[in-house]
Structure 1
């Protein structure tokens, strides 16, 4: 679940600052190869210290407001990167890591609940019913084969607003089969066929032949 303040104005403003710091710092490092490695090392050091001290976006914001101790610990010999940019980039990275971990944990809980209930499908995000979708995306997970079906509706995309991506896990990694549609009825019918094919497939590898 998101942090309590994830959608607060303070968090929104902080994330805007952190994105701006990345936009300002990275082009400077790329244009100065001699400083690039030192800059990356400083960012990684600050990020490592943030990982040790912070468990939420609110804690990142608090550290950003009084960063002296953290920067002295992470970069005891100093750094040529302006401290606001250095901390902003590292905070943005730490925030994304926390968000990714929360999302991973949330999905694990959904899958475990579906398994405990004896279900073979679990909706990881989006509408429970694809028929109700007018925009956005929906991700569904087939537990036995570890196959993901992502369906999206993008009314602003132009000629083919409906899409299905089927991500199949096989021995050499994850492969994706994709199709787009102009017609909503055809899209929904294809989704049902994919779900039936996934349930009936003798192995995940067989799903790669779907079209």
Structure 2
């Protein structure tokens, strides 16, 4: 009889260990699995992404400035890469192209745009910046300027513009935009068409071509 009772006790203990407590373990495992993993995406911050975008667009702008500047150099102009030299302190003038024979000075702003649109408000803003710019040749050392030239020309390394008298030169204002559809159609009433991809806004010339073939 005692043996029979002992067997029953053993069976009950085994049942309790393997069937009664086991569901609790399952519930514990289930609760553990439901806990979400730590959010790692918080390591990437918005300012870093913003700076990366700014660097990217700045690089595109510099490339276009060099392209326009090189085109002027090929036509015989001496080019001051004002935007590269002064950065954010360029006062809205990216390039200063000088023709010593004709005594012309071109103040140029460049926009490497593919999606943005040049509204009338922006046109007027560019025009005012170019109009208000005071070119002081004495502020540009010859050795500094030559290091920015885009074509290998011994003439450029010998030019000293510090003695130029801007008052004796004709000052011309130009805006170069890389995409021919960047000028909003609503600006038609303010623009005069001068050629394919070339317009005039007040006394400012606008060239809207990436290839820059229309160069007059």
The TM-score by the shorter chain falls in which range? under 0.3
Greater fraction of residues in helix:
1
Q: If the length of structure 2 is used for normalisation, what is the TM-score?
A: 0.26
Greater C-alpha Rg: 2
Q: If the length of structure 1 is used for normalisation, what is the TM-score?
A: 0.27
- Say which structure, 1 or 2, has more relative contact order (CA 8 Å, 6+ apart): 2
